[in-house]
Amino acid sequence: MPGNIVVGILVLAAVVFALRSMKKRAESGCCGGGGDCCRVVKAEDTDPSHYPYSAVMEVPDMHCGNCRTRVESALNSLPGVWASVDLGKKEALVRMKEVLTEDRLRETVKKAGYGVGRVEFR
């Protein structure tokens, strides 16, 4: 009898995990790879001296390398932007050749499927 309870709890945990994963993919695209959802866009210019403006964006919804790729690629698709993500801190450093508005940066990350916390311009 106790063995059946343990097995039941393990099955229930697996079902909950699977449902959460399906919900995440349905709401914001992939978090597990595949297709064009993780198209990589790199900045053409990676010389920091060419970017006089920067902002640090908190992106708490990032969980994996695919999340990092999606956020970096979305931001790097903006003209004059070089973005890099620190997944451990759940932050994106956005270097800009010209100042972009906070709303534009937030909207770009939102369209990639992620929420944004604080945005700090430097």
* pLDDT for residue 29 is more than 60: no
Query: What is the spatial distance between Cα 59 and Cα 116, in angstroms, rounded to a whole number?
Result: 5
Tell me the CA distances in angstroms from 16 to 8, 12, 22, 25, one per residue in order: 12, 6, 10, 14
Residue 111, pLDDT score: 94
Total-model pTM: 0.71
- Write the pLDDT tens digit of every residue in 30-57: 565 444 556 899 999 999 999 999 999 9
